[in-house]
Amino acid sequence: MKPRATKVLVIGYVWPEPRSSAAGGHMIQILETFLTQGWDITFSSPAALGEHKADLLSLGIAECAIELNNSSFDDFIRELAPDIVLFDRFMMEEQFGWRVEKHCPDALRVLETSDLQSLRDARHQRLKDHVKAHPGSDDFGTLFAPALEQEFQLMAETDLAKREIAAIYRCDISLMISDVEIRLLTEQFKVPAALLHWCPLMMVPPTTAFAPYEDRAHFLSIGNFRHAPNWDAVLWMKSSLWPLIRQQLPGAQLHVYGAYTPPKATALHNPAQGFHVMNWAEDALQVMTAARICLAPLRFGAGIKGKLADAMLCGTPNITTPIGAEAMGDAQPWPGAIEQSAPALAAAAVALYQDRERWNQAQEHGRHLLARRYDQSAHGPALLACLEHCWRNLAAHRRTNFTGSMLRHHAHKSTQYMSQWIEAKNRTL
How, if at all, do strands 318-320 and 336-338 pair?
Answer: parallel
The pLDDT value recorded for residue 146 is 74
For strands 254-257 and 219-222, give the pairing. Answer: parallel
Q: So where are the chain's domains?
A: 7-118+147-202+376-428, 213-373
Over the stretch 354-370, which tens digit does the pLDDT of each residue have? 999 999 999 999 999 99
DSSP H helix total and E strand total for the chain? 18, 13
If you write DSSP's letter for every residue of 83-134 in order, what string do you get?
Answer: SEEEEESHHHHHHHHHHHHHH-TTSEEEEE-SS-HHHHHHHHHHHHHHHHHS
Q: How far is Cα 223 from Cα 110, in angstroms, rounded to an integer?
A: 27
Please report the DSSP string for 270-302 in residue order.
BGGGTEEEEE--SSHHHHHHH-SEEEE--SS--
pLDDT one-digit tens code per residue, 387-421: 999 999 999 999 999 999 999 877 656 666 566 65
Half-sphere exposure of 45 (CA within 13 A, CB side): 17
pLDDT value, residue 169: 97
Topology alike, domains 7-118+147-202+376-428 and 213-373:
yes
How big is the chain by its Cα radius of gyration, in Å? 22
For 322-346, how does the pLDDT look when each residue is reduced to its tens digit (9 = 90+)? 999 999 999 899 999 999 999 999 9
Residue 425's pLDDT band (boundaries 50, 70, 90)?
low
Helix, strand, coil % (nearest 5) of the chain? 50, 15, 35
Share the mean pLDDT of the chain: 94
**Which architecture characterizes domain 7-118+147-202+376-428 according to CATH?**
3-Layer(aba) Sandwich (3.40)
Which of 236, 251, 331, 333 lies closest to 292, judged by CA? 251
| Per-residue pLDDT at 150 exceeds 50 | yes
What pLDDT is stored for residue 1 in this prediction? 43
Distance between CA atoms of residues 32 and 24, nearest Å: 12
Asked if residue 185 lies in contact with residue 168, where contact means CB atoms within 8 angstroms, the answer is yes
| pTM, rounded to two decimals | 0.93
Per-residue confidence (pLDDT) for residue 423, from 0 to 100: 67
Is the pLDDT at 155 greater than 80? The verdict is yes
Give the whole-angstrom CA distance, residue 51 versus residue 186.
38
Would you place residue 204 in the very low, low, confident or very high pLDDT band (cuts 50, 70, 90)? Answer: very high
The residue among 425 and 141 whose pLDDT is bigger is 141
Which residues are within 8 A (CB) of 312 and not within 5 positions of it... i.e. 6 or more apart? 318, 335, 366, 367, 369, 370
Query: Quick one: pLDDT at residue 187?
Result: 97
% of the chain beyond a pLDDT of 70: 95
Buried b (16+ CB within 10 A) or exposed e, 91-125: ebbbbbbbbbbebbeebbbbbbbbbbbbbbbbbbe
Region 44-61 average pLDDT = 94
| pLDDT band for position 51 (cuts 50, 70, 90) | confident
pLDDT at position 415: 62
pLDDT digits (tens, 9 = 90+) for 295-327: 999 999 999 999 999 999 999 999 999 999 999
Contacts of residue 304, defined as CB under 8 A and 6 or more positions apart, other chains included, come to 22, 115, 177, 178, 200, 201, 326, 327, 328
Digit-coded pLDDT (tens) for 90-116: 999 999 999 999 999 999 999 999 999
CATH number listed for the domain at residues 213-373: 3.40.50.2000
Q: Quote the CA–CA distance of 59 and 53 in Å, as a whole number.
A: 13
Beta bridge partners, 198, equal: 176
Burial grade of 136 (CB within 10 A; 0-12, 13-18, 19 or more) = exposed
Q: Which residues pair with 222 in a beta bridge?
A: 257
Which pLDDT score is estimated for 4?
Answer: 72
pLDDT for 136 equals 86
**String of b and e for 167-184 (b: at least 16 CB within 10 Å)?**
bbbbbbbbbbbbbbbbbb
pLDDT digits (tens, 9 = 90+) for 3-21: 678 999 999 999 999 988 8
pLDDT of residue 3: 61
Predicted pLDDT of residue 334: 98
**Predicted local distance difference test score (pLDDT) of residue 358:** 98
Could you tell me whether strands 196-198 and 84-88 are parallel, antiparallel, or unpaired per DSSP bridges?
A: unpaired
Please classify residue 276 by burial: count the beta carbons closer than 10 Å to its beta carbon, then call 0-12 exposed, 13-18 middle and 19+ buried.
middle
Predicted confidence band at 279 (pLDDT cuts at 50, 70, 90)? Answer: confident
